[in-house]
């Protein structure tokens, strides 16, 4: 039996997602299902951008049918960006509730510590660790998708 974990890296302009499967019989390995981003155009009005996130997240839940979700927790962002990221996170929480999905939140330092052993690791070090843990030939792109995979791997390693 497999367990699917979906990682979500919140953002209004770009929301990263990454899905992995964990085999119950081989808990030592994870397989990438898919990863990517949801984008909303900057010139679009905020309500329409939030609606796009809402609709696309519902589509992701139907497509991937995760058993568990990992979401980046708001920590410190630039003030102008914080409210927009918080609004995107609100949409994520709503969609997860509507799908009755359990989730865990990780601050960036926890993800870095889990994957590299160092809570202040550079982004490239985390991306290398994700590629290594998931046995990928290259670092996932774009960065938001790699961050989402890092969240999914962190959730797996904390299970």
pLDDT, one tens digit per residue, over 60-99 is 999 999 999 999 998 765 566 788 889 999 999 999 999 9
Distance separating alpha carbons of residues 79 and 116, to the nearest angstrom? 28
Burial of 62 (0-12, 13-18, 19+ CB in 10 A): exposed
Give me the residue spans of the domains in the chain: 2-158
Structure tokens at 131: 């590629």
The set of catalytic residues is 9, 72, 144
CA angle 37, 18, 78 (to 5 degrees): 60
**Distances from the Cα of 45 to the Cα of 13, 39, 40, 49, 58, angstroms:** 12, 13, 10, 6, 20
Q: What is the reported pLDDT for 23?
A: 85
CB atoms within 10 A of CB 113: 16
Residue 145: per-residue pLDDT: 97
User: 2-158, superfamily in CATH?
Assistant: Ribonuclease H-like superfamily/Ribonuclease H (3.30.420.10)
pTM exceeds 0.85, yes or no:
yes
């Amino acid at each position: 039996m497999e367990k699917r974990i979906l990682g979500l890296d919140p953002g209004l302009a770009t929301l990263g997602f990454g899905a992995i499967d964990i085999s119950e019989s081989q808990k030592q390995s994870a397989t990438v299902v898919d990863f990517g981003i949801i984008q909303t155009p900057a010139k679009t009005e905020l309500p329409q951008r939030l609606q796009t996130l809402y609709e696309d997240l519902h589509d992701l839940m139907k497509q991937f049918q995760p058993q568990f979700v990992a979401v980046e927790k708001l920590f410190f962002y630039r003030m102008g960006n914080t409210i927009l990221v918080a609004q995107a996170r609100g949409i994520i929480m709503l969609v997860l509730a509507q799908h009755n999905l359990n989730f865990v939140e990780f601050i960036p330092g926890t993800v870095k510590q889990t994957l590299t052993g160092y809570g202040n690791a550079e982004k490239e070090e985390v991306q290398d660790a994700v590629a290594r843990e998931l046995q990928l030939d290259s670092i996932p792109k774009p960065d938001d998708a790699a961050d989402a995979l890092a969240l999914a791997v962190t959730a797996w390693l904390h299970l």
